[in-house]
Amino acid sequence: MNFYEHTIIARQDTSPGELKQLTEKYSKIITKNEGEVVKTEDWGLLNLSHLIKKNKKGSYIHFKIKGKGKVINELEKNEALDKKLLRFLTVKVKKFDLTTNYFSKKEENEIKESVKD
């Protein structure tokens, strides 16, 4: 069993309801192909470093997946055909970091740090 981190970038004009549908759609594809979604994170609307298909921003959704290589093949095949997506990226990792939230607001991070002290 392999561990993967998979991120998709949806178009900036995608509604929150459509983002939820995308998350459910790709989660079903993963489970249908004998994979497991360990965690799903919605990173929100972020600026892109350069224009992609005339979009300056994109909505990021991040999956932590446990499964075999065929899960990723099937997932990427479906994403390549989806007109709502700008890009997708899959990275194979040795283990998941399930505790750190890199895209939380600065205020939340400052509160967590002051509690630790």
Closest CA to 11 of 21, 19, 20, 1: 19
For the beta sheet containing 36-52, the strands, ordered from the edge strand earlier in sequence to the opposite edge, are 36-52, 55-67, 2-11, 85-93
* CATH number of the domain encompassing residue 103: 3.30.70.60
* Domain boundaries, position 67: 2-116
Q: What is the pTM of this model?
A: 0.80
Number of domains, the chain: 1
pLDDT tens digits, residue range 25-84? Answer: 999 999 998 888 988 888 888 888 889 888 899 999 999 999 888 899 999 899 899 888
